[in-house]
Amino acid sequence: MNWPKHLKARIRLKEPLKKHTTFKIGGPAEFFIEPDDASALKLLLNTLKRDKIPFLLIGSGSNILANDKGVNAAVLRLGSPYFRRLCFKGIFAYAGAGATLNRVSNEAKRRGLSGAEFLAGIPGTIGGALAMNAGIPGYGIGDIADKVTVMDYNGKIKTLRKKEIKFAYRGSSLQGRIILGARLKLAKGSKKEIRDKIRGYIGHRRLTQDSGHYSAGCVFKNPQGNSAGRLIDLCGLKGKRIGGAEVSLKHANFIVNTGDARAKDVFALMESIKRGVKNKSGIILEPEIKIWK
Ligand code: EPU
């Protein structure tokens, strides 16, 4: 592979994806690339296009199940300081795609800005969260995203206003473009109330979710008006195990890696869960996690 000499990027070859996913699962990526900034990203996209190399985007790897054989593609991560930037002006937060949700939430709290509390404890980045409208039931990051700057696959940059973007439950019209950063609209609030809200969200997670094991969070989307976790639980599937993958004993919509899980174990367990829920309730569960086959 002939990379342009002036390409400012960190390039790793045959990089194990298990190092970059919260599941700690996944074989090697042919290339794992972190461009320094937007112009390096543009040059990188042109180079990949020239050499017909497909690419995939990864944020904090918290919603990805990568297969055991790895991916014959370039995996791009916007993790350089440029993409992790975060600053505030008045009630607005300007966050690069690689800034983590926890940092955004914490920095907003420090400044007495309310609106980003629900992001606390979600293991993700601004880019990944916007693409899939991450959040909590009834509320997603799309609700506070005011403007989003994206790059198309030819390297053209555009800033979209809120009304130009469609956000849905765990999805958005931003998929198919590379999110570079966003302006989030917050509101002045009481520091104590913000802190208490954050504590509430984190407390609920600690109580109900499995943070003691490697996982990718909720595996399936909640069907309309229902909870995937409850449906799976009602099938008595908590603790069901295939290879090293197990349905969490704490939250049935989490599959945990008990130590040596392979992607194929997780796929098999997901199929078994889907069958169980379909048989019992007639509901077909849809994956929330992104599967890299
Ligand atoms: N429930 C059970 N058994 C379980 C799990 C849940 O009966 O094993 C019941 C609970 O008792 C509750 C209901 O199901 O009555 C909902 O449970 P929970 O409050 O845990 O919320 P959820 O709908 O399962 C959603 C998001 C989570 C987010 C929490 C925040 C989805 C798929 N899940 O979970 O997001 O953290 O709300 O409250 O939208 C993620 O996206 O990765 C994720 C974890």
pLDDT tens, residue by residue, 197-246: 999 999 999 999 999 999 999 999 999 999 999 999 999 999 999 999 99
Q: Which residues of 222-237 are buried (b: 16+ CB within 10 A; e: fewer)?
A: beeeebbbebbeebeb
Ligand 1 pocket test: which of 60, 227, 249 has the largest number of ligand atoms within 8 Å of its C-beta? 227
Q: Identify the CA nearest to 213 among candidates 252, 253, 251, 259.
A: 259
SS (H, E, C) the chain: CCCCCCCCEEEEEEEEHHHCCCCCCCCEEEEEEEECCHHHHHHHHHHHHHCCCCEEEECCCCCEEECCCCEEEEEEECCCCCCCCEEEECCEEEEECCCEHHHHHHHHHHCCEECCHHHCCCCCEHHHHHHHCCEECCEEHHHCEEEEEEECCCCCEEEEEHHHCCEECCEECCCCCEEEEEEEECEECCHHHHHHHHHHHHHHHHHHCCCCCEEEEECECCCCCCCHHHHHHHCCCCCCEECCEEECCCCCCEEEECCCCCHHHHHHHHHHHHHHHHHHHCCCCCECCEEEC
Position 92 pLDDT exceeds 90: yes
Q: Identify the CA nearest to 73 among candidates 131, 4, 13.
A: 13
Ligand 1 centre to CA of 227 (Å) is 6
The mean pLDDT value of the chain amounts to 97
pLDDT tens, residue by residue, 8-25: 999 999 999 999 999 999
pLDDT tens, residue by residue, 140-187: 999 999 999 999 999 999 999 999 999 999 999 999 999 999 999 999
The letter for the amino acid at 99 is A
Ligand 1 centre to CA of 47 (Å) is 42
pLDDT above 70 coverage of the chain, percent: 100
pLDDT tens, residue by residue, 250-272: 999 999 999 999 999 999 999 99
pLDDT tens, residue by residue, 16-56: 999 999 999 999 999 999 999 999 999 999 999 999 999 99
pTM: 0.96
Q: What is the pLDDT of residue 64?
A: 98
Mean pLDDT within 273-293: 97
Position 1 pLDDT exceeds 90: no
Q: What is the pLDDT of residue 10?
A: 98
The letter for the amino acid at 168 is A
pLDDT tens, residue by residue, 109-150: 999 999 999 999 999 999 999 999 999 988 999 999 999 999
| CA-proximal residue: ligand 1, atom 40 (nearest) | 218
Ligand 1 centre to CA of 282 (Å) is 20
Ligand 1 centre to CA of 208 (Å) is 8
> Is the backbone of residue 16 left (phi > 0), alpha (psi -120 to 50) or beta?
beta
**Which atom of ligand 1 sits closest to the CA of residue 208?**
20
Q: Which residues contact 147 (CB under 8 A, 6 or more apart)?
A: 159, 160, 161, 162, 182, 183
| CA-proximal residue: ligand 1, atom 10 (nearest) | 230
- CB 125, CB 161: distance < 8 Å: no
Residues with CB under 6 A from ligand 1: 136-137, 204-205, 208, 217-218, 221-222, 227-230, 233, 251-253, 288
Task: Specify the pairing of strand 254-257 against strand 290-292.
Answer: unpaired
